[in-house]
Amino acid sequence: MTRAWSQLPGYELVRDGLDDLLAGHESEASLVVSMAAPRLRSLGVDVPSGTGGVPSHRLYELLAEADAGAHSRYNALVGRVVGFARAAEHASAG
């Protein structure tokens, strides 16, 4: 990722997800980054392969285990990574 992207909304989530994927750790961040991998790769982000399976399903399962508000948390995480991708697309185009 470029240095300028560190100022974009959602950067911390994407950075943490990439770090967790490289380390082989399953986390909320790694799963949401795996979900967004095609879009992030199209921006030039080197997204490591995940642990397999369907990351969207696993993310929801992980959130449901921890909290009754899994649906809201899931949507918030997806929104953050989508926000990052949109901002990165605009930054790259401009």
Q: What is the pLDDT of residues 41-76, one digit of tens each?
A: 999 999 998 777 899 999 999 999 987 789 999 999
Tell me how far apart the alpha carbons of residues 84 and 94 are, in angstroms, rounded to a whole number.
15
Q: Which amino acid is at 59?
A: L
Which residues are CB-neighbours of 26 under 8 A, at least 6 positions away? Answer: 20, 51, 58, 62
Domain count, the chain: 1
The model's pTM is 0.92
Pick 1 or 48 by higher pLDDT: 48
Per the structure, the complete domain to which residue 75 belongs is given by 3-93
